[in-house]
Structure 1
């Protein structure tokens, strides 16, 4: 039996969520798709999917196999595309994105992107957890911070400042920190998914902080700081509204660490499909027009 067909049926079943939807997508009957997936499992001598009347669930072996097969099918598609002229980007593109950045700066541009590339499907996986591109079948990841994984390559698409802020009410009650070390005596709102943990980085210091409120959402950090629960630390654009209307106050600006890059990451030794290339170009161009994501390094260093 055609192994390529078996793999295609399996992948589309995973991506559409059901055997019948995969059949409609591929122009096959649901029983045939079910038979082809079963034949693939027989060939591999392992269960790939748990089936129920409501949904399909990947087994651990199925998760690993899906990531590998997705790369194989993408490579075949891209190889075929490379020998054609003016081939329109197509297929499913998976992009992992951090929550707040995506809601603020990526999602507003998704309609224009999909309109420009009508044969392309976009799966944005919005989460602040670390996504392993090699193992999870994700082609691109937008990440904040410097690249530390040698298996990946990065394209910088933005640069922003991290700032300390607090509400006027909090400062009236607890006083104003004059240098980063003063934060040890203050209530700080902790973002639990920060790569440096509860240590905040400044230009010439790393300060361990503590507080009574910890949360895994940047938006919740902003709301807690606005409510007076403590001092917050994060991207300046996260607190921009409060800084503009005067409800929040900028702190320790002269101690701010160097700007932080925003990057699109991809696997170094993996063939890059055209759909991934056009997404990178599109987002890079859109981000270049956003002042909050294009901090002037020279100006920042001199301030």
Structure 2
């Protein structure tokens, strides 16, 4: 890649993550090198692109004007490389995808098949239960719970993810099993939430505020707390099906209706989905663990 193209790529990342040190670490370059690349872009276009202070890097209106052109240029270059390079016949390179914990663990167990078919493919998995910024984190794809209302994202429906109320048999032996959703008010409910926001479960069409002595913003922590007998939890069926089959957890109120989660794979609207990411998207659709939408 020419010096100017590398400098333009650096400019784009500085717009997305306005920090010399963060971009330098990401691009494996020194702070001075990143600053020199920005100087080159400013000199080439004859514009001041950032106001620089000792603590902040602030894009100027000219940077905002240049950014879509720079992204389109890099996207076109990537597309040409894929059309004329080795990726034309065999997708290669790194796909960065953001996933929730439950779905991430599910798909990881099945990635061997994909990697065997496409040995030049590399998967970079960013697993968290909270929504990541796709541009800042350079994600090619991310999984989201729908509906998707943003014009900045292109959404591909994957399917619906069933959920179950579960508890450890020892907890139910101590406290008894609820016979109706109203009985949950008298139980320790393990909330998948954070801070002061009340946890709400919609059961049989009625929303109820639930709570207990333990809550977490991570589904894996909720899962483990349930296995330890701390209370009743609402978790994806894919996460607890094995526990129920093995007797480690028991389904609670199994006849009640709990709406599934509609899951979408999304990618930034401003960026063409490269073939390597399209291969992964097709894999996500083919192996989705719930009914297709």
Q: TM-score of the superposition, structure 2-length normalised?
A: 0.74
Q: Which residue of 1 aligns with 2:29?
A: 19
Q: Which moved more, 1:91-100 or 1:233-242?
A: 91-100
Q: Note the 1:28-43 alignment, pairs <5 A.
A: 35-40=36-41
**1:162–1:33: structure 2 CA closer, same or farther, 3 Å change rule?**
closer
CA contact (8 A) 2:202 2:259 kept: no
**Counterparts in 2 of 1:114 and 1:73: CA distance versus 1, 3 Å:** farther
> Which residue of structure 1 lines up, in the alignment, with residue 50 of structure 2?
46
Q: Distance in 1 between matches of 2:292 and 2:92?
A: 36
Q: 1:127 to 1:296 in 2, by over 3 A?
A: closer
Quote how far apart the aligned CAs of 1:132 are: 3.4
Q: Whole-Å Cα distance in 2 between the matches of residues 211 and 83 of structure 1?
A: 58
> Which residues of structure 1 form unaligned runs of 5+?
21-29, 51-56, 298-303
Instruction: Please state whether the residue corresponding to 2:259 is helix, strand or coil.
Output: coil
Looking at structure 2, the residues matched to 38 and 125 of structure 1 have their Cα atoms a distance apart, in angstroms, of 32
Cα deviation 1:104-125 (Å, max 9, x = unaligned) = 2222344554554455443322
CA distance in 1, matches of 2:135, 2:26: 22
Which deviations, in whole Å up to 9, do the C-alpha atoms of 1:227-275 show, x marking residues without a partner?
2211111112212232112232111121122333332112345422222
C-alpha RMSD over aligned residues: 4.0
- Asked if 1:207 is matched to 2:208, the reply is yes
**Range moving further from structure 2, 2-11 or 155-164:** 2-11
Q: 1:169-226 CA distances to partner (integer Å, 9 max, x unpaired)?
A: 21222222111122112110111169x9500122321111011101122121112112
Q: Which has the higher helix share?
A: 1
Residue 167 of structure 1 corresponds to which residue in structure 2? 168
In the aligned structure 1, how far is the partner of 2:280 from the partner of 2:190? 35
Whether the aligned pair in 1 keeps the contact of 2:159 and 2:292 (CA below 8 Å) is: no
Normalised to the residue count of structure 1, the TM-score between the two structures is 0.72
The count of residues paired between Structure 1 and Structure 2 equals 273
Give the aligned partner of residue 179 of structure 2: 178
